A = this chain, B = another copy of it.
Amino acid sequence: MIIKKHLILASRSPRRQLLLKQLGLKFDVVESGVDEDIDHIQIPIEHVTILSQRKAIAVGKQVEDGFVIGADTIVVLDGKILGKPEDENEAIEMLSLLSDRTHTVFTGFTILDRPSNKIYSDYETTDVTFRKIFIDEIKEYVRSGSPLDKAGAYGIQDDYGAVFVKKIDGCFYNVVGFPLTKFYLAIEKFQKELGLL
């Protein structure tokens, strides 16, 4: 993969950083500090696209030259967005809702080119089916603290929440927090549009 500019990831998520490293990419990490609380935008695609753009733009102000990558992941059940739980009780409530059901993970991402300020945004969806999980399992998982910084109160990759997932249908990496394949094709296309490739 050829990237013609310096990359800046506008995300503190260690999972996203690991996924990008998996592609052999070198990048800096700058936190955006963007408020993720945009409850008024209840359309999932709009929600993740707008937040990913806000994150990239916020960090872009500090970048003279390069590609800034923003991303946002949410979990959607019955059309309702589940973001990061505010406390243990909300985490327990979210996981109880997800038990024995299929939800959809949405990740929006934005590549912002500096200094031209041109933007490329896209998103990916993946269906995730939970097995029936029991309240004791949920409580044990929530006590570990791990669900509290994750959309939908679970992490598929790095902890115990793993064994709640029976199957997924769609992009593997999207569920971890970043749709690698779509991003890979997007940044190639974007660089061609910019005349860099």
- Residues of A at the B interface (CB closer than 8 Å) are 1, 19, 22-24, 126, 131, 156-160, 162-173, 175, 180-181, 184-185
Contacts and interface: CB of A to CB of B under 8 A. Distances in A.
Q: Which of A165, A167, A185 has the most CB of B within 10 A?
A: A167
Contacts of A175: 172
Interface SS majority for chain A: mixed
Given A22-B158, A158-B22, A181 B163 contact: yes
A40 B55 CA distance: 55
A172 B165 contact: yes
A41 B164 CA distance: 33
Contact of A167 (B24, B157, B170): B170
A169 B172 contact: no
A178 to B, nearest CB: 11
Nearest to A169: B169
Contacts of A19: 162
A169 B171 contact: no
